[in-house]
A = this chain, B = another copy of it.
Amino acid sequence: MSTTLSVIAPGLLGASVAQAARRYQAADRIKIWARRPETRLALQEVDWCDEVCARSIDAAIEADIIVVCTPVDRIVPLIREISPAIKPDATVTDVGSVKGEICRFAAAVLENGAQFVGSHPMAGSEKGGMENAEMDLFQNRPCFVTPIEETPLASVERIVSFWDRVGSRVVTMHPDKHDEIVARISHLPHLVASALCSLLARRDPTSHLYAGPGLRDTTRVAGGNPDLWLEILLENRDEVMRALAAYQDEIQGLHAALANRDAAQLRDMLQRGKGYRDQFRS
């Protein structure tokens, strides 16, 4: 049985999805819709796109798997827009960094039997755009797949096996649990880095000239697109606020330990942090 994949919005993630699907044969036919005419023109020339669609709704026609790769605030409106053309046995997914509301609304938008199963590949870069896409972007990278209680198992399996095929290590989780955890492991780190850069911009604006590799790595994610991140943070606002509050407690603990010259407490925190970080090496 032949599989048609439709990619909506080929930025860094969308174009990487199409390239990976071609390379690892996760689909037989690949259709892509891009908003900008110049992008559609460029897509005519690449070997990882079989059909360039001028209208988003055209991309939905005959598609078995639709991957919506727009910014998070555009995902549900886009699915609504293309829904009249989505096949009843199609499965729709996305690559958004927030899942709870998107999964609930997207499921409600699809009425003819087609299913939505949220995805969140933990891949990407502060450098966005189709020109930075890579067919191996998902290789060995985690990818959350977030069904809700009502999602049919067959739809979940279709999306899981798609990500599996392009090399991801799939983790299945409820959308709300995803949002709670990702607030701490992804959205919080972004704010932690942004806050550090914001402080340095005020106090040491030329310090990049004499900073070491540590600062460079610690702050890398702060180079991400502010508009995309703003939407992510607002979409996951409650969980991000909880994560920030918990983080403030940790920073306050460090400040208090220094104020009290409490070496044992300081060493404990540094040691606990190192214990967590050292797991990444294995």
Contacts and interface: CB of A to CB of B under 8 A. Distances in A.
Contacts of A194: 254, 269-270, 273-274
B276 A205 contact: yes
Count of chain copies: 2
Contacts of A252: 248
B275 A229 contact: no
Interface in A223-282: 223-227, 229-230, 233-234, 237, 240-241, 244-248, 250-255, 258-259, 261, 263, 266-267, 269-281
Q: Which interface class (under 10, 10 to 19, 20 to 34, 35 or more) fits A? A: 35 or more
B212 A276 contact: no
Nearest to A125: B213
Q: How would you classify the secondary structure of chain A's contact residues: helix, strand, loop or mixed? A: helix
Contacts of A263: 230, 234
Interface of A: 122-125, 141-142, 144, 169, 171, 181, 184-186, 188-205, 207-227, 229-230, 233-234, 237, 240-241, 244-248, 250-255, 258-259, 261, 263, 266-267, 269-281
Nearest to A241: B258
A223 to B, nearest CB: 4
